Chain A
């Protein structure tokens, strides 16, 4: 007795342990959805603001509809296709069966990224334009194996003679299937459907490669937000979805009609009835969701006549600016996001989606010009170009020699951010040189940028070379330097540098100047200051500009869009939202004097004597950089 009590205690303990393990991150996220501070590491007080913002954000709502609709249709299709196929495969002879199972396993054994890319290649090769339907087809494809894998074990457990017995007793094949086989494999079918639905819901990589313009699922939306930090309204949405599913589960499991079981057969009958009831309930609720989503989707799909496809960085515009533009011009904007220049380029090059206005950085613009991907801008349609400070047009000549293809949007520098208290505690001087990132005192306290060009920039500049160096000897020295630095580094990051520095996780980090306003605001009231310094060796001066791809279908609309963004009041509003320095003179003059004097955001030109703009170095040099970087990372 005692023994079994002890056993039971251990069992309970283990169950609770696993549940905590599974649900701790979810709880964390729920708590963060009520956090009034935007940072992941900082508690700023209770708020419901994120929930309000979530319902107001059309991008989140659209993504939600798309996600649910795609998940539902693909799970349903995959379940039907998969269950039927499993029965067929189960009846096959050995050889065809193992071939079929082998093919079935391909989407699972392949890395998701290869499945995604291979589908994208196939779609493009057969002239199917990327969009909603390609996501759907891909999702069905990768969901089916999960259904088959959950149905197969069930089928193997059912006796193959029950079906034949039913037929002998006079049932038709269809009747025998629904009365004998299906109830037996129902748990497998159901868990297959659920798995497929959740896999589709959770998928990011395959969607990422097979989606077209203007279509986002929650995953791709979250991914595009990663660069500048995830908005807590995303946590809010996840919390609501989670609680809804939880409620659904509780309703279906603890509904009243539960009579005490007596005898195996009744129990089996009851659980069968319950299963059927549950399926009905689940199916009904999903039908509602699907119906709502579909009407909304078709509504959005129909609203496009005069349109503009925009491709921009995540969180790189004030969303109300888009709304104002739509109101003023009557042009419907399809707004799409990318995270890195390198990710944007193949999309434009492949031309699967024809974007009208894109906002890449300097060196990438040069690459696009050299590869003849850009259209000349007709500046007669952009009278507000006069608002752009000539200084920036001049700087732009390094990548757009005749100022024919690009209009500057934001600019900034790369520098070192440090936590004054932590630096003092480590007994180090405040950094003023790139080589301070190699100081042993900062061991485990350094955050490096996780991108090839930026990482090599730190090393090349530290060695006194040009950041556009293609000299193999100089690059090898930089590589060795970076390898030497690796043990000292806490993590290679992109956007997370901001949150980690705010949370006091690290002492120094490499950061873009545009983050400074935001950081200084949030660091107020903490027991440390975050200071930004441009190292004395010089740094990278970058410019992000609007360009129009050659295959744009709405070039005039794109010019209207660029002109609109150059309007001083609009540029000011954008600046206040994204906090990256604006090259717009009119907007700059409207700012508070204190802001104008903020040297971290708007550095003096004199202090930037050693600053260089990245240039496109050619495909060969690009691959040398990538090879060396891979060596650094794998070391």
Chain B
């Protein structure tokens, strides 16, 4: 009985989402399927096939995949270490990773410019040590760095939140039964923390795929990502119809990745509970 009742707790939220997400989205779809004169057209979606749009899309997919991967590789050991070190101090760790976000992200990304520039801080230190200079500013590498920097906390936090929930006894039991550290991680911790990993991947991949500020600030505006194209259609090009079409294409790609994730999530649930 209570199950039925509590299901309706989602009611207000559903109404909210219909009003502020679904209806605005329908507006975008309307824009996508019409041209400037209001006639029906599919040209705005087909526009993704033009060389410059295709290139921007593939570049965005590539860069965001790479940075998601880097985030995962960086975040998992980090979450493991944090779990080991800080029993009972959970929110402290949360704070350490959320704290940087209290400085505006436009400012923080600008600060990376200062650090990475040809005569910037990092190269100043490297020169002083007689090491070769770093020349990644205005290249895709700088964009990857910016993505990893901005989105790493979104990977660490969900993984950490799941890891601290795992009982120490489970790990001890595994080790008592003869599992090595590597086996404990691959057979116990990773399967148990899969929900965290998946929500982490979602939280990094999606903003990375759609960013345009990072590529503008760290790529010297020389590198056009799909986010930049859409942004320019809306703000500079004033072609909202084309912008809507391209963003629907983008949504399709994200939906595909979400579907993949959902599949793994289901299997993860099966072993986790």
Contact = CB atoms under 8 A, between A and B. Distances in A.
Interface of A: 11, 14-15, 18-19, 21-26, 28-29, 32, 40-41, 81-82, 84-85, 87-89, 91-92, 98, 100, 103-115, 117-119, 121-122, 125, 137-138, 140-141, 144, 149-150, 152-154, 156-157, 163-164, 167, 173, 187-188, 190-191, 194-195, 198-199, 201-202, 204-205, 218-219, 222-223, 226, 230, 234-235, 238, 241-242, 245-246, 249, 252-253, 261, 267, 270-271, 274-275, 278, 340, 342-343, 345-346, 450, 452, 486, 489-493, 496, 500, 503-505, 622-623, 626, 630-631, 633-635
B52 A117 contact: no
Interface of B: 2-3, 5-14, 16-18, 20-25, 27-28, 31, 51-53, 55-56, 74, 77-78, 81, 84-85, 87-92, 94-115, 117-121, 138, 149, 152, 157-158, 161-162, 164-165, 195-196, 199, 202-203, 206-207, 209-210, 212-213, 220-222, 224, 227-232, 234-240, 243-244, 247, 250-251, 254-255, 258, 262, 269, 272-273
Nearest to B14: A100
Contacts of B13: 81-82, 84-85, 88, 144
Given A41-B114, A117-B240, A242-B99, A493 B221 contact: yes
Contacts of B16: 81, 140-141, 144
A626 B157 CA distance: 41
Chain B CB count within 10 A is highest, among A117, A164, A218, A631, for A117
B111 A88 contact: no
A500 B243 CA distance: 32
Given A113-B231, A634-B55, A188 B106 contact: no
Given A111-B227, A634-B56, A194 B94 contact: yes
Given A23-B100, A111-B210, 9 more contacts: A40-B114, A106-B25, A125-B27, A141-B21, A153-B161, A198-B98, A490-B220, A500-B117, A505-B118
Chain A CB count within 10 A is highest, among B12, B157, B210, for B210
Contacts of A634: 51-53, 55-56, 224, 229
Nearest to A112: B210
A19 B99 CA distance: 11
Contacts of B81: 11, 14-15
Given A103-B17, A493-B221, A157 B162 contact: yes
Contacts of A163: 2
Chain A CB count within 10 A is highest, among B84, B102, B224, B232, for B102
A153 B195 contact: yes
A347 to B, nearest CB: 10
A138 B108 contact: no
A113 B226 CA distance: 12
A113 B234 contact: yes
B185 to A, nearest CB: 13
Given A25-B111, A149-B203, A630-B232, A275 B91 contact: yes
Nearest to A241: B102
Given A25-B111, A154-B161, A157-B165, A122 B27 contact: yes
A476 to B, nearest CB: 15
A515 B27 CA distance: 42
B28 A253 contact: no
A346 B107 contact: no
A110 B231 CA distance: 13
Contacts of A26: 100, 103, 108, 111
A156 B227 contact: no
B220 A28 contact: no
A410 B55 CA distance: 40
The interface residues of chain B, by DSSP majority, are classed as helix
A201 B90 contact: no
Given A191-B161, A342-B235, A113 B97 contact: no
B247 to A, nearest CB: 4
B27 A118 contact: yes
Contacts, number: 323
A87 B95 CA distance: 25
B115 A24 contact: yes
Contact of B195 (A156, A191, A346): A156
B104 A202 contact: yes
Contacts of A190: 91, 94
A191 B157 contact: yes
Minimum-distance CB pairs A-B, first 4: A491-B220, A88-B10, A111-B210, A88-B9
Nearest to B152: A22
B234 to A, nearest CB: 6
B74 A91 contact: no
Chain A CB count within 10 A is highest, among B17, B78, B199, B250, for B17
A114 B230 contact: yes
Contacts of B101: 198-199, 201-202
Contacts of B28: 114, 117-118, 121
23 contacts: A18-B78, A25-B108, A41-B119, A103-B18, A109-B255, A110-B210, A112-B210, A113-B212, A119-B20, A121-B27, A122-B20, A140-B20, A150-B161, A153-B162, A153-B195, A157-B165, A157-B195, A205-B213, A219-B104, A345-B238, A491-B222, A630-B224, A631-B52
A230 B224 CA distance: 24
Chain B CB count within 10 A is highest, among A98, A261, A634, for A634
A111 B244 CA distance: 11
A173 B2 contact: yes
Contacts of B97: 22
A249 B99 contact: yes
Contacts of B164: 187
B14 A633 contact: no
Contact of B107 (A23, A29, A105, A153): A29
A111 B7 contact: no
Given A109-B254, A261-B88, A491-B138, A88 B103 contact: no
A15 B92 contact: no
B83 to A, nearest CB: 11
Nearest to A626: B237
A48 to B, nearest CB: 19
Contact of B95 (A107, A173, A241, A249): A249
Contacts of B113: 40, 496
B202 A108 contact: yes
Nearest to A164: B2
A108 to B, nearest CB: 6
Nearest to B169: A264
Contact of B104 (A21, A238, A452, A500): A238
Contact of A194 (B98, B118, B138): B98
A91 B8 CA distance: 9
A242 B107 CA distance: 13
Chain B CB count within 10 A is highest, among A199, A205, A452, A486, for A205
A204 B8 CA distance: 34
B206 A109 contact: yes
A492 B220 contact: yes
A249 B90 CA distance: 12
Contacts of A278: 91
A107 B221 CA distance: 26
Nearest to B22: A103
Contacts of A141: 16-17, 20-21
